[in-house]
């Protein structure tokens, strides 16, 4: 099957885990299901022969971390728009299907241009797009904002959007929808109410990259946090808990794998740690760790992974990686997290309930070796239901059934 895949970004230049997941899924579809993929994203990946020499335009933050090398800027939006649309439609005409990965930051008139050429189009919904209109120009064209930033006449910017179908009409054009979690399907029930072909396929990981580490009760005193340095990830809650745990056990530590200097929130966290007599002793800062080094430098060193997101986390790859590595997970009961973490595989807490994370941490420490059953069940669940090959085969089966 020949597939034209469209994504926000694509490794090695990517903003987050979902773009990395899209890359690994496409590679797995090629390996296990015989797909032939051509990828178009907001940056041209010159290291991959499977990536087309075509760059899309998008609205992106000014700073996205060291992994992002070449983002197409807003000033390029109008310059090559016609050429981009023409190139996209040509690539789509050569494919059997079109597979779009969460295009929340891509320019709406560009990627939607492939939806009316007669090829079946599918979308993988891994985030709050399109339910969250503020994250996408699907609902808000931002044409005036683009014109101002480029010092162009508003009419020229607006011309890109002239004749473009409304959001509701555009969403009807998808032949099928793949959701990354049951939570996401429920959240988007209204947006995709007229698309009967839907399937929930949870994210998968390469479990060979995250082998299970032998259980050690002493390792339970080493907690870990891995995530973007943003408020919604709940690092403040983790620090609050570690501080309280340390009052009773000075051996408690917290490893933080995050580039704290990359955001104002992260820098505030760093200042808090350095200015606290307890946290400065209990917290170990690892910085941002390359994904391929996470198991050796992070997961293999910790016994308990704290996942304290305060927002509706769609479905986190970090949890899958931790469980596969034999790490006990204490996660917030938000979004899609309860679909993989439950009382048989870890602990769930309510981030809106004061000290609930701390209570669960104490409970996990008190349980000691009794946690081994949860850890084993969790690792087995990942190995059986959340591998890349399992995910790829489910996606492939769904799409072939629909077309």
DSSP-assigned beta bridge partners for residue 100: 6, 123
Same domain flag for 242 and 367: yes
Same domain flag for 318 and 276: yes
Can you tell me the distance from the alpha carbon of 3 to that of 204, in angstroms, rounded to the nearest whole number? 20
- According to the model, what pLDDT value does residue 132 have? 57
Same domain flag for 107 and 183: yes
Same domain flag for 183 and 253: no
Same domain flag for 176 and 220: no
- According to the model, what pLDDT value does residue 71 have? 37
Can you tell me the distance from the alpha carbon of 100 to that of 178, in angstroms, rounded to the nearest whole number? 10
Instruction: From 382, 244, 218, select the one nearest 303 (Cα to Cα).
Output: 218
Same domain flag for 196 and 301: no
Helices (H), 94-165: 108-111, 143-150, 154-159
Same domain flag for 339 and 371: yes
Q: Name the CA dihedral angle for 20, 63, 234, 140, rounded to a multiple of 10 degrees.
A: -80
Same domain flag for 249 and 181: no
Helix H or strand E segment including 178 = strand 176-179
| CA atoms within 13 Å, Cβ hemisphere of 82 | 4
- pLDDT tens-place string over residues 215-254: 988 899 999 999 999 999 999 999 999 999 999 999 999 9
| 261 confidence band (pLDDT: 50, 70, 90) | very high
Same domain flag for 145 and 265: no
Strand order in the sheet with 121-125: 51-55, 36-41, 2-7, 97-101, 121-125, 176-179, 198-200
- According to the model, what pLDDT value does residue 53 have? 58
User: Residue 259 is part of which domain span?
Assistant: 208-385
Can you tell me the distance from the alpha carbon of 142 to that of 315, in angstroms, rounded to the nearest whole number? 29
- Across residues 324-335, what is the average pLDDT? 97
- According to the model, what pLDDT value does residue 80 have? 73
CATH number of the domain where residue 84 is located? 3.40.50.2000
- Across residues 302-331, what is the average pLDDT? 96
SS3 121: strand
Give CA 156 to chain center in angstroms: 34
Q: Strands of 31-174 (E only): list them.
A: 36-41, 51-55, 97-101, 121-125
Can you tell me the distance from the alpha carbon of 208 to that of 205, in angstroms, rounded to the nearest whole number? 9
Total domains present in the chain: 2
| 163 confidence band (pLDDT: 50, 70, 90) | low
Same domain flag for 16 and 117: yes
- pLDDT tens-place string over residues 121-159: 999 999 888 765 444 444 344 444 444 444 444 555 566
Can you tell me the distance from the alpha carbon of 271 to that of 285, in angstroms, rounded to the nearest whole number? 12
Angle, to 10 degrees, between the axis of helix 317-324 and the axis of helix 372-385?
120
Contact 351, 334 (CB under 8 A): yes
Same domain flag for 229 and 375: yes
Distances (CA, A) of 270 to 237, 258, 259, 284, 329: 14, 11, 10, 11, 24
Helix H or strand E segment including 179 = strand 176-179
Same domain flag for 56 and 195: yes
């Amino acid at each position: 099957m020949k597939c034209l895949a469209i994504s926000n970004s694509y490794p090695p230049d990517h903003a987050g885990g979902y773009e990395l997941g899209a890359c690994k899924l496409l590679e797995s579809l090629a390996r296990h299901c015989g797909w032939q993929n051509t990828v178009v994203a907001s940056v041209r990946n010159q290291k991959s022969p499977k990536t087309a020499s075509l760059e899309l335009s998008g609205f992106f933050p000014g700073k996205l971390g060291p992994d992002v090398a070449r983002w197409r800027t807003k000033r390029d939006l109008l310059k090559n728009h016609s050429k981009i649309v023409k190139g996209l439609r040509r690539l789509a005409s050569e494919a059997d299907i079109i597979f779009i990965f969460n295009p929340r930051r891509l320019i709406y008139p560009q990627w939607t241009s492939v939806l009316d050429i007669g090829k079946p189009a599918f979308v993988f919904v891994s985030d709050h797009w399109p339910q969250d209109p503020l994250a996408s120009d699907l609902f808000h064209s931002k044409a005036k904002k683009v014109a101002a930033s480029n010092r162009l006449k508003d009419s020229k910017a607006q011309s890109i959007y002239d004749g473009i179908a409304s959001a509701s009409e555009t969403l009807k054009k998808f032949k099928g929808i793949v959701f990354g979690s049951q939570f996401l399907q429920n959240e988007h029930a209204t947006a995709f109410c007229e698309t009967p072909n839907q399937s929930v396929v949870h994210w998968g990981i390469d479990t060979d990259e995250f082998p299970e580490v032998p259980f050690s009760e002493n390792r339970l005193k080493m907690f870990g946090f891995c995530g973007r340095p943003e408020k919604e990830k709940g690092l403040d809650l983790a620090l609050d808990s570690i501080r309280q745990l340390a009052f009773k056990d000075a051996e408690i530590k917290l490893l933080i794998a995050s580039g704290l200097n990359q955001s104002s929130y992260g820098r505030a966290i760093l200042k808090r740690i350095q200015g606290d007599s307890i946290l400065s002793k209990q917290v170990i800062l690892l910085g941002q760790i390359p994904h391929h080094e996470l198991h050796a430098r992070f997961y293999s060193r910790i016994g308990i992974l704290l996942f304290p997101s305060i927002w509706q986390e769609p479905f986190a790859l970090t949890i899958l990686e931790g469980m596969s590595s034999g790490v006990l997970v204490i996660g917030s009961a938000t979004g899609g997290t309860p679909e993989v973490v439950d009382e048989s595989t870890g602990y769930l807490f309510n981030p809106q309930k004061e000290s609930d994370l701390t209570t669960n941490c104490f409970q996990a420490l008190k349980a000691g070796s009794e946690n081994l059953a949860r850890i084993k069940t969790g690792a087995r669940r990942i190995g059986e239901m959340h591998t890349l090959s399992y995910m790829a085969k489910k996606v492939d089966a769904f799409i072939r059934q629909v077309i």
